[in-house]
């Protein structure tokens, strides 16, 4: 779950599920994400939400090169 401020910046991120070894990476990715602010009657509001990441393992010549999150959010 994430909490997002009025400017769209994630100020709290907690990985609720997924493999334990990837939870820190998911939280780091969330903090780097900028969300479009929610506007109601011309005023921006804080929001709570869920971000989903799929981690992609990149191999080169049979060796692990990189693991990075790919956002599944729209």
Q: How far apart are CA 10 and CA 50, in angstroms?
A: 11
What digits encode the pLDDT tens for the residues 3-14?
999 999 999 999
Q: What is the mean pLDDT of residues 46-54?
A: 92
Say whether pLDDT at 58 is over 80: no
d(CA 54, CA 70): 5
- Average pLDDT on 31-44 reads 94
Does 64 have pLDDT greater than 70?
no
The maximal CA–CA distance of the chain, rounded, in angstroms, is 55
Distance between CA 24 and CA 31 in Å, rounded? 11
Q: Say if residue 46's pLDDT is above 90.
A: yes
Contacts with 23 (C-beta within 8 Å, 6 or more apart), sequence order: 15
pLDDT surpasses 80 at 15: yes
Q: Is it the case that residue 65 has pLDDT exceeding 70?
A: no
């Amino acid at each position: 779950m994430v909490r997002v401020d009025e400017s769209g910046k994630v100020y709290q991120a907690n990985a609720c599920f997924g493999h334990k070894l990837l939870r820190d990476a998911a939280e780091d990715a969330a903090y780097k994400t900028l969300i479009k602010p929610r506007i109601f009657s011309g005023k921006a509001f804080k929001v709570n939400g869920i971000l989903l990441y799929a981690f992609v393992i990149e191999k080169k010549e049979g060796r692990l090169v990189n693991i990075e999150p790919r956002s599944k959010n729209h």
